[in-house]
Structure 1
């Protein structure tokens, strides 16, 4: 077993999960903690899981992103696994969508992720290893009425990850995308019963995902078993987006 493989084995790595205070991000952070990894989460208002280093960071602010990485590196060591999960929605129909509705979502979901990946890559290149996992959405593959901004931002993550995979692959750095479908989180709880049932009937497995199921795909992509997987889009959507 090579030194690189030993470092990529679960347990003892420094993992950064953005948006790690609730929902999918929290489940991902908890899954890495359960493996024995050193985990930092970024939040806007605090509330990360017990055992994680909670770092305040707004990914739309380049200075806050730099400060967050500096804190994590000082407290836990160089980031070996980055999970870019932080995201927002501002849903409305195209003709009602304001410039701010568009810009805010793209700046957080896509440009914010670019900043995180760029900063993480610096340390990973020095280490000659790393795992980058971007959290997209089935909406980024299928499209969704009323979510032009969100779908565009999440689709953009695929091109970002695949370009990074080509640039950094020779240094044993992988970049992959996980595209969840509808997940039992605070974001889906706001839907009406009728909306939830309509969505459920479109999912071949007939149910919403649990956050832990998305986390399982992420930890696998960060594992030694996935060392030869890069530039991939892994759907965790119950079959909703199959064929895309």
Structure 2
């Protein structure tokens, strides 16, 4: 029987690259996304599509029931809103970004870890961002990602004794649809800070996620793996 992995936002960008890689490793892949327009894996065996808006926190328990028991959780879904400034950020926009980028991942860990604990085996990988480490013009995006990094440490401690490893990645800007929200000037300035002079490719980031989700030693738990090509070397 194939092991089951849930990838939120697994329909495009980094998430799609993760979904493709996990499928190639013979996992059953459940993808949760707002829509599946032009989904590259649509209709393939071992791929389940669940249309759901993760800003809807109230119904996450029902979503978890629909997903069922899983072996691996990849909390990848997220977005930013750089059009808002720190002093002009509508409450509705704050609530939505915090729900998708922080509250939903934490609640999914709460809801989906139970079977992992029962079987004494499981992996959780959270996709944070360099924005949670060094700050970001989209202040609530940075706050949410910093919270996800901290949540990884907390849940690594809470679940590690049950055989469940919880880790996190913090990539710098990656060549995905998210970049359409960044100004050309900001993208140009960032590329000056990396040794390769380019953004990361989704497949590069996905390789790190898949390693943490599959082959990573269990003693690596509660960590944040930096993926930023020396733009934030520490």
For these two proteins, the number of residue pairs brought into alignment is 228
Say whether the 8 Å CA contact 2:81–2:181 is kept in structure 1: no
Normalised by the size of structure 2, how large is the TM-score?
0.91
Say whether the 8 Å CA contact 1:57–1:64 is kept in structure 2: no
User: Equivalent residue for 2:90?
Assistant: 98
User: Equivalent residue for 1:142?
Assistant: 134
Report the secondary structure of 1:177's partner residue.
Answer: strand
1:159-202 superposed Cα distances (whole Å, 9 cap, x missing partner) = 11111111111111010111111111111144444332221111
Report the secondary structure of 2:129's partner residue.
Answer: coil
User: Equivalent residue for 1:69?
Assistant: 64
1:63 deviates by 5.2
Report the secondary structure of 1:228's partner residue.
Answer: coil
User: Equivalent residue for 2:114?
Assistant: 122
User: Equivalent residue for 1:220?
Assistant: 211
Cα separation, 1, equivalents of 2:134 and 2:30:
32
Say whether the 8 Å CA contact 1:57–1:65 is kept in structure 2: no
Say whether the 8 Å CA contact 2:55–2:97 is kept in structure 1: no
Q: Confirm whether residue 172 of structure 1 aligns to residue 163 of structure 2.
A: yes
Say whether the 8 Å CA contact 1:205–1:239 is kept in structure 2: no
User: Equivalent residue for 1:84?
Assistant: 75
CA, structure 1 residues 32+155, in 2 after alignment: closer, same or farther (shift >3 Å)? same
CA, structure 1 residues 32+143, in 2 after alignment: closer, same or farther (shift >3 Å)? same
1:208 to 199, 207, 217: 199
Normalised by the size of structure 1, how large is the TM-score?
0.87
Q: Which runs of 5+ in 2 are unaligned?
A: none
User: Equivalent residue for 1:5?
Assistant: none
Report the secondary structure of 2:73's partner residue.
Answer: strand
Cα separation, 2, equivalents of 1:13 and 1:227:
18
Cα separation, 2, equivalents of 1:193 and 1:151:
20
Alpha-carbon RMSD across the aligned residues, in angstroms, is 1.7
Say whether the 8 Å CA contact 2:30–2:67 is kept in structure 1: yes
Task: Could you list the structure 1 runs, at least 4 aligned residues long, displaced by more than 6 angstroms after superposition.
Answer: none
Q: Confirm whether residue 34 of structure 1 aligns to residue 29 of structure 2.
A: no
Say whether the 8 Å CA contact 1:181–1:209 is kept in structure 2: yes
Say whether the 8 Å CA contact 2:79–2:178 is kept in structure 1: no
Cα separation, 2, equivalents of 1:194 and 1:60:
30
Q: Confirm whether residue 18 of structure 1 aligns to residue 8 of structure 2.
A: yes
Report the secondary structure of 1:151's partner residue.
Answer: helix
Q: Confirm whether residue 107 of structure 1 aligns to residue 102 of structure 2.
A: no
Say whether the 8 Å CA contact 1:179–1:233 is kept in structure 2: yes
